[in-house]
């Protein structure tokens, strides 16, 4: 496990970045569509010096910041993926394979400590269907999907708040997936039909605004940018047309559980 690796032996951030990019490229050559998710996926979209420096100031680039690489692929490629990572020197824990192989596969001991591959969707506190979204961007899933993967967490932690701050500080909002947070994708992902998903995302966006205000790593301009974009997303979601099921569920609010529990498989 990453925490058990001595600091002097721990892979540098560049090793995670290089391995992620190589895996996507080499997998494509073998007919496997593989995309990067998580905090590393967000960092791969930091193209300017300013935003790379912000990642460092936020503590999202440095020793032991990256502990694994999260990927997603199509479930029909499951066996190909297993062979692909095995060939790269990774091992699969038989117990994890038995319990989680339908949804995801966890690989250990290759060029980085852990590589985790999800199939078709991310099923955590809320479900994000990616089965028709993998071609939207490369080498990562789209920015909107990267954002949703962070904001769907009911108990979002500090590192994930920082990742969202970094994304909002460095990317525009719009209606395309090209280096832009696609607002249309947020509604298509179910936020206007699933009240629970909406509630978690909206609550986390408000947390982002508070967290950014308290974070001294941001310049005044960056703070305003993050807060304004979080507010624009909130307004977009609040003004969007809700389904009848959304409206009925909203009446119950948090008196009834609105999210799925997450079992830690690693």
Judged on CB neighbours under 10 Å (0-12, 13-18, 19+), 236 is middle
Bridging pattern class, strands 180-182 and 172-174? parallel
Kindly state whether residue 262 falls inside one of the protein's structural domains: no
In a domain, residue 266? The reply is no
pLDDT value of position 266: 43
pLDDT at 205 over 60: yes
Residue 101 has what pLDDT? 66
Q: Is the pLDDT of residue 37 over 60?
A: yes
Of 86-100, 137-151, 203-217, 239-253, give the lowest mean pLDDT range: 86-100
Would residue 33 count as lying in a domain? yes
pLDDT of 9 higher than 90: no
C-alpha span between 159 and 222 (Å, rounded) = 18
Nearest CA to 137 among 3, 24, 17, 9? 24
Residue 200 resides in a domain: yes
Measure the CA angle with vertex 217, ends 211 and 223; round to 5°: 60
CA atoms within 13 A on the CB side of 73: 26
What pTM value is reported for the model?
0.95
Contact 175, 184 (CB under 8 A): yes
pLDDT given for residue 264 in this prediction: 60
* pLDDT higher than threshold 90 for residue 151: yes
**104 in a structural domain:** yes
Looking at the domain assignment, is residue 263 inside a domain? no
In a domain, 181, yes or no: yes
Task: Tell the residue number behind the tokens 């909206």, with chain if given.
Answer: 202
CB under 8 Å to 226, separation ≥6 — which residues? Answer: 165, 168, 169, 208, 209, 212, 218
Of the candidates 23, 18, 46, the residue with the CA atom closest to the CA atom of residue 170? 46
For the beta carbon of residue 156, count every other beta carbon within 10 angstroms.
20
Helix (H, G, I), strand (E, B) or coil at 69: strand
Contact 75, 120 (CB under 8 A): yes
What local confidence, expressed as pLDDT, does residue 1 receive? 73
The number of domains in the chain is 1
Q: In this structure, is residue 116 part of a structural domain?
A: yes
Q: Is 132 left (phi over 0), alpha (psi -120 to 50) or beta?
A: alpha
Question: How much is the pLDDT for 98?
Answer: 58
Question: Is the pLDDT confidence value at 31 over 50?
Answer: yes
At 215-227, the pLDDT tens digits run 999 999 999 999 9
Give the structural domain span for 121. Answer: 2-255
Neighbour-count burial of 187, counting CB atoms closer than 10 A to its CB (0-12 exposed, 13-18 middle, 19+ buried): middle
Mean pLDDT of the chain: 94
Is 234 buried (19+), middle (13-18) or exposed (0-12) by CB count in 10 A? Answer: middle
């Amino acid at each position: 496990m990453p925490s058990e690796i001595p600091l002097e032996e721990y892979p540098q951030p560049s090793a995670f970045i290089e391995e992620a990019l190589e895996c996507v490229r080499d997998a494509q050559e073998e007919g496997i569509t593989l995309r990067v998710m998580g905090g590393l996926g967000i960092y791969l979209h930091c193209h300017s010096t300013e935003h790379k420096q912000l990642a460092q100031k936020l503590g999202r680039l440095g020793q032991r910041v990256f502990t694994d690489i999260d990927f997603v692929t199509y479930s029909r490629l499951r066996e190909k993926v297993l062979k692909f990572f095995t060939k790269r020197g990774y091992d699969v824990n038989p117990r994890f394979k038995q319990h989680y192989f339908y949804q995801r596969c966890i690989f250990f001991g290759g060029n980085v400590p852990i590589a985790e591959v999800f199939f078709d969707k991310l099923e955590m506190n809320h479900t994000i269907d990616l089965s028709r979204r993998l071609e939207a961007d490369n080498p990562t899933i789209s920015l909107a999907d990267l954002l949703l993967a962070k904001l769907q967490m009911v108990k979002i932690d500090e590192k994930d708040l920082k990742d969202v701050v970094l994304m909002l500080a460095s990317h525009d909002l719009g209606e395309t997936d090209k280096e832009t947070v696609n607002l249309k994708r947020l509604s298509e992902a179910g936020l206007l039909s699933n009240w629970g998903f909406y509630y978690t995302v909206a609550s986390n966006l408000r947390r982002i605004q508070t967290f950014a205000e308290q974070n001294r790593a941001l310049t005044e301009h960056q703070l305003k940018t993050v807060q304004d974009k979080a507010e624009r997303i909130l307004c977009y979601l609040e003004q969007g047309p809700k389904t009848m099921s959304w409206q009925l569920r909203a009446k119950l609010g948090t008196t009834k559980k609105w999210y799925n529990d997450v079992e830690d498989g690693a």
